[in-house]
């Protein structure tokens, strides 16, 4: 069994198509087919079955795919550790984060870190709360910013790096747009623009509204802070967003007002696998981040 066979097998499993896998691997389709055939002969099982124009993993193929995926990721980490041992300042950091941190925070901290380690590479992955947890556990990312901080979890560990206030955002012509502060209950009759299910800000806003004595009426849902902010600015409803998501990125902007009853906040944490050893360069980045947020 050769490493190349496993790499080709995993790519075909991901693409569910030999031609598309070959194109991404930059090899001939016949080479991929031949390697898959040899692998199946060596194992004595069929790893794929035809489903229309695509290929689908057989049950034993699914089992084998999980092991191969884990094996190749571990191999990648081992190679990275060797490179980092030879030159700790030229490694790659794989980091996950929710969309709400991507506009300002992530570019800021990466730019500052690269002033000290200019040759370090970054691989970024945005995701929802459950997908970020999954990416950390699977080894897809080394570190992940996550909100809210997961608290007690045997599989991931980390630190709360900041607590952030959420503001009410309103159309510019809203009667409350000129206020300095409002009580959340003042929005009980409004239509809300909320994040879709799976996004961590949704339950934070929902629970805050319930605490204020009402259930929010949902007019629209979205998956990005720019979408939420834009819909509110266009008069489609009101919402709550963390301060970090309110940096202006386009001319159409909603009004933002501080909420005092109840004060609405979210915790942002930096997590990694409890049983996983971080690569040297990721450990350096984590130390940098903890210091960065302590002095802010």
193-216 pLDDT, tens digit each: 999 888 889 999 999 999 999 999
- In the predicted model, is pLDDT for residue 271 greater than 80? yes
3-state secondary structure the chain: CCHHHHHHHHHHHHHCCHHHHHHHHCCCHHHHHHHHHHHHHHHCCCCEEEECCEEEECHHHHHHHHHHHHHHHHHHHHHHHHHHHHCHHHCEEEEEECHHHCCCHHHHHHHHHHHHCCCCEEEEEECCHHHHHHHHHHCCCCEEEECCCCCCCCCEEEEEEEEEEEEEEECCCCCCCCCCEEEHHHHCCCEEEEECCCCCHHHHHHHHHHHCCCCCEEEEEECCHHHHHHHHHCCCCEEEEEHHHHCCCCCCCCEEEEEEECCCEEEEEEEEECCCCCCHHHHHHHHHHHHHHHHC
Mean pLDDT over residues 228-257, rounded?
A: 86
Binning pLDDT at 50, 70 and 90, where does residue 96 land?
very high
As a whole number, mean pLDDT of residues 126-142 equals: 90
CATH of domain 83-154+274-295: 3.40.190.10
Region(s) of the chain under CATH 3.40.190.10: 83-154+274-295
Specify the domain boundaries for CATH 3.40.190.290 within the chain. 163-267
Could you tell me which residues come within 8 angstroms of residue 69 by beta carbon, excluding any fewer than 6 positions away? 10
CATH for 3-79 (1.10.443.10, 1.20.1250.20, 3.40.50.10420, 1.10.10.10): 1.10.10.10
Q: Where in the chain is the domain with CATH 1.10.10.10?
A: 3-79
pLDDT band at 294, cuts 50/70/90? Answer: confident
Which CATH code for domain 163-267?
3.40.190.290
pLDDT confidence bin for 57, thresholds 50/70/90: very high
State pTM to two decimals.
0.68
């Amino acid at each position: 069994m050769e490493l190349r066979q496993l790499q080709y097998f995993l790519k075909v499993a991901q693409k569910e198509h030999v031609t598309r896998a070959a194109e991404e691997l930059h090899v001939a389709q016949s080479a991929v087919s031949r390697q898959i055939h040899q692998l199946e002969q060596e194992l004595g099982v069929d790893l794929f079955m035809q489903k229309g124009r695509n290929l689908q993993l057989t049950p034993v193929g699914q089992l084998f795919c999980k092991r191969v995926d884990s094996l190749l990721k571990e191999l990648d980490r081992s190679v990275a550790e060797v490179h980092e041992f030879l030159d700790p300042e030229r490694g790659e950091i794989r980091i996950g984060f929710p969309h709400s941190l991507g506009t300002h925070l992530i570019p800021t901290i990466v730019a500052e870190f690269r002033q000290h380690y200019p040759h370090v590479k970054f691989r970024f992955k945005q995701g929802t709360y459950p997908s970020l947890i999954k990416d950390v556990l699977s080894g897809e990312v080394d570190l992940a910013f996550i909100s809210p901080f997961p608290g007690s979890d045997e599989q991931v560990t980390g630190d709360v790096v900041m607590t952030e206030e959420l503001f009410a955002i309103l159309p510019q012509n809203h009667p409350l747009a000129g206020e300095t502060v409002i009580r959340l209950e003042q929005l009980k009759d409004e239509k809300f623009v909320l994040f879709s299910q799976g996004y961590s800000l949704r339950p934070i806003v929902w629970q805050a509204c319930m605490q204020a004595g009402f259930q929010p009426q949902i007019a629209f849902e979205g998956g990005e802070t720019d979408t939420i902010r834009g819909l509110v600015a266009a008069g489609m409803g009101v919402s709550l967003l963390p301060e970090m998501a309110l940096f202006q990125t386009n001319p159409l902007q909603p009004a933002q007002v501080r909420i005092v009853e109840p004060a609405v906040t979210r915790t942002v944490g930096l997590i990694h696998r409890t049983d996983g050893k971080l690569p040297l360069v990721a450990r350096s980045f984590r130390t940098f981040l903890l210091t960065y947020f302590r002095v802010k």
